[in-house]
Amino acid sequence: MAEHLSQEQIDRYLLGRLEGPELRAFEQQIASDPLLGQEIERQKALLAGMQAYKDQEILRTLDQIHAEVAVETQEKEGKVIPGRWFLRIAAILIVLVLPLGWYILFYQPLHEHLFASYFQPLELHLGTRNQESPVRLTKAGQFYIQQEWKEANTLFEQYLSEHPLAYQVKLYAGISQMGSGDYTEAIRHFETILERKHPLYADQARWYLALLYLKQKNLSSCKQYLKVLQKDPQADHHEDAKSLLEALER
Amino acid sequence: MRKLSDEKILDLIRSVHEPDNRDALTYLYREYFASVQKLVVNNNGSVDDAKDIFQDGMLAFYNQVRQQQLNLNCSIKTYLYSICRHQWLSALRKRKVNLEINDHEPYVEKIPGIERAIFADEREVLIASMLDQIGEACKKILLYFYIDRYSMNQIMELMQLSSVPVTRNKKMHCLNKLKKLVFENPVYKNNLRD
């Protein structure tokens, strides 16, 4: 093999970065130099092995995602309780306890009243089929739906300790902590999602942070998050943020 | 949840930050798995077949984007559906069952570059296992360079190395380490060498 031939040239060839005359010249060199040909074959084998390694990594990630992501058909099969139940139950409760509600509201401070009106746990979207951690996540989801916040949160946290990048689970963990009254931990989860500028969950995290600050009567922080949502018509909770801000201004 | 444009999804997949890659995969899973599941289940397949076909399709798509081998002439939705449709047709062919597919989505017939076998052969598995023996830093550098196709500059930053020449030397050292481990391995020498 020609001594002057650098690994850099071999890399460029293997990664398909040689073109035209340069590529042809290199191919001629390979054809006329058996040692070079052998070295290229060896390195091609290494690349194939590296690709196989990476593929396995991605497939493992996809398996994890499978456990976290909502699958419409699963919902239809009834494996995940559709989140619309929250709305139905909430509607029934509103009708049933309306007289009592009026009485309580009469004595409730404004921020408590607004918090109670606007806080709704996010509709649950977690898949149930997974090879690695199906049971824990499914159980956490069941506790979440039943609003058994502490139990849900324990299981979400266990899952997060193994899958720290599962931001969707982080969101549900934060909401569970809100439900159980652990506001400091809830804020930590939502802020992590915001720091990541997560494209899917940042709006949700912002909305729940606003509600947390409302609950704690920190109205300036609350409004700060609401205003971001209000400014962006595409944002999740845009309309909610607008109306809550209006209510606060009144 | 907020809708992401195809452009944004491709940016997230191409990003050097792994959480971005994962976000993109999560989004695609949520948006498009149901459609592929419908395709497979309505055409002689099971829910588990659908999962395998979708994950193989996602892997092929992901690699094409990361390695800049994708020329997208349609939406990601149509493209992913087409890859999975193609994979499912191949699976049906192997099972020698009816090849008439009832579609519920538009698709493209020709998808270049997905013929590569998804399952590694014995030699690839052996080499992949050796990667875990050269140390975390070495493994990362080689994967960044050969699979993710990052520049030396990007690798220098990701690995927090002091300069490009240092990075280049480190990569060379890691490659030699892997070569030694693989090509001097008796299993490889006796059974797997071409």
What's the number of domains chain A is made of?
A: 2
Q: Chain A within 8 Å of B10 (Cβ-Cβ)? A: no
Residue A126 and residue A62 share a domain: no
Please enumerate in sequence order all residues whose Cβ is within 8 A of that of B28, keeping only pairs 6 or more positions apart, or say none.
Answer: B9, B58, B61, B76, B80
Rg of chain A, C-alpha, whole Å = 27
> Would residue A26 count as lying in a domain?
yes
Please enumerate in sequence order all residues whose Cβ is within 8 A of that of B149, keeping only pairs 6 or more positions apart, or say none.
Answer: A15, B66, B67, B68
Residue A40, min C-alpha distance to chain B (Å):
12
Question: Coil, strand or helix: which one is B18?
Answer: helix
The greatest distance separating any two alpha carbons of chain A, rounded to the nearest whole angstrom, comes to: 93
Residue A83 and residue A28 share a domain: no
| pTM for the whole structure | 0.62
**B182/A49 CB distance under 8 A:** yes
How many angstroms separate the CA atoms of A70 and A68, rounded? 7
Report pLDDT for A200. 78
CB A246 within 8 A of CB A223: no
B172-188 pLDDT tens trace = 999 999 999 998 888 77
Query: Which of A118-122, A222-226, B17-21 comes out lowest in average pLDDT?
Result: A118-122
Alpha helices (runs of H) in chain A, residue ranges in sequence order = 7-14, 20-32, 34-68, 72-77, 84-96, 98-107, 110-118, 134-145, 149-162, 167-180, 183-195, 202-215, 219-231, 238-249
Name the percent of chain A lying above pLDDT 70: 77
Q: Give the pLDDT band (50/70/90) at residue B154.
A: very high
Residue keyed to tokens 């300036």: A220
CB A190 within 8 A of CB A208: yes
Among residues A20, A47, A67, the one where a domain terminates is A67
More confident: A134 or B103: B103
**B128/A63 CB distance under 8 A:** no
The fold adopted by the segment(s) B122-192 is: Arc Repressor Mutant, subunit A (1.10.10)
Question: Which chain B residues are closer than 8 Å to A199 by Cβ?
Answer: 2, 4, 8, 12, 23, 27
**Chain A: residue whose CA lies nearest to B3:** A200
Residue A172 one-letter amino acid: Y
Q: Residues, chain B, total? A: 194
> Would residue A2 count as lying in a domain?
no
- Among A153-167, B43-57, B110-124, the range of highest mean pLDDT: B43-57
**A236/B2 CB distance under 8 A:** yes
Q: Give the pLDDT band (50/70/90) at residue A3.
A: very low
How many angstroms separate the CA atoms of A80 and A67, rounded? 12
Report pLDDT for B148. 93
> Would residue A13 count as lying in a domain?
yes
**B27/A199 CB distance under 8 A:** yes
What ipTM score was computed for the predicted complex, to two decimals?
0.88
φ, ψ at A88 (rounded to 5°):
-65, -45
Chain B contact probe: residue of A7, A9, A38, A50 with most B CBs at under 10 A:
A50
Residue A94 and residue A179 share a domain: yes
Question: Coil, strand or helix: which one is A121?
Answer: coil
> Would residue A97 count as lying in a domain?
yes
Say whether pLDDT at A185 is over 50: yes
Instruction: Give Cα A224 distance to the centre of its chain.
Output: 23
Query: Which of A85-94, A154-163, B100-109 comes out lowest in average pLDDT?
Result: A85-94
**Chain A: residue whose CA lies nearest to B41:** A73
- Tokens representing A222? 């609350």
How many angstroms separate the CA atoms of B102 and B88, rounded? 12
CB A136 within 8 A of CB A64: no
**B27/A125 CB distance under 8 A:** no
Beta-strand runs (E) in B22-96? none
Single out the residue of A69, A157, A8, A218 nearest to residue B27, CA to CA: A69
> Would residue A165 count as lying in a domain?
yes
φ, ψ at B187 (rounded to 5°):
-60, -45
Say whether pLDDT at A243 is over 50: yes
Report pLDDT for B116. 53
Q: What is the mean pLDDT of chain B?
A: 87
> Would residue A23 count as lying in a domain?
yes
More confident: A138 or B77: B77
Say whether pLDDT at A75 is over 80: no
Residue A176 and residue A55 share a domain: no
Report pLDDT for A99. 57
Say whether pLDDT at A226 is over 80: yes
Q: Give the pLDDT band (50/70/90) at residue B98.
A: low
CB A236 within 8 A of CB A206: no
A136-169 pLDDT tens trace = 677 788 788 878 888 888 888 888 887 777 788 8
Query: Which of A31-35, A67-71, B74-78 comes out lowest in average pLDDT?
Result: A67-71
A106-129 pLDDT tens trace = 556 777 888 888 888 887 766 433
Residue A138 and residue A59 share a domain: no
What domain range is A218 assigned to? 72-249
CB A188 within 8 A of CB A170: no
Question: Which chain B residues are closer than 8 Å to A54 by Cβ?
Answer: 143, 147
Question: Which chain A residues are closer than 8 Å to B122 by Cβ?
Answer: none
Across the range A165-193, mean pLDDT stands at: 87
Among residues A67, A85, A118, the one where a domain terminates is A67
Q: Chain A within 8 Å of B143 (Cβ-Cβ)? A: yes
Say whether pLDDT at A224 is over 60: yes
Q: What is the mean pLDDT of chain A?
A: 79
What DSSP line would sit under A165-220, residue for residue? Answer: T-HHHHHHHHHHHHHHT-HHHHHHHHHHHHHTT-TTTHHHHHHHHHHHHHHTT-HH
A105-124 residues touching B, CB cutoff 8 A: none
Among residues A41, A67, A93, the one where a domain terminates is A67
Residue keyed to tokens 């550098």: B141
A143-A148-A151-A157 Cα dihedral, nearest 10 degrees:
80
A188-247 residues touching B, CB cutoff 8 A: 196, 198-201, 203-204, 234-236
Say whether pLDDT at A44 is over 70: yes
Burial class (CB in 10 A: 0-12, 13-18, 19+), A72: middle
Report pLDDT for B191. 66
Q: What is the CATH number of the domain that holds A116?
A: 1.25.40.10
**Cα distance from N-terminal residue to C-terminal residue, chain B:** 51
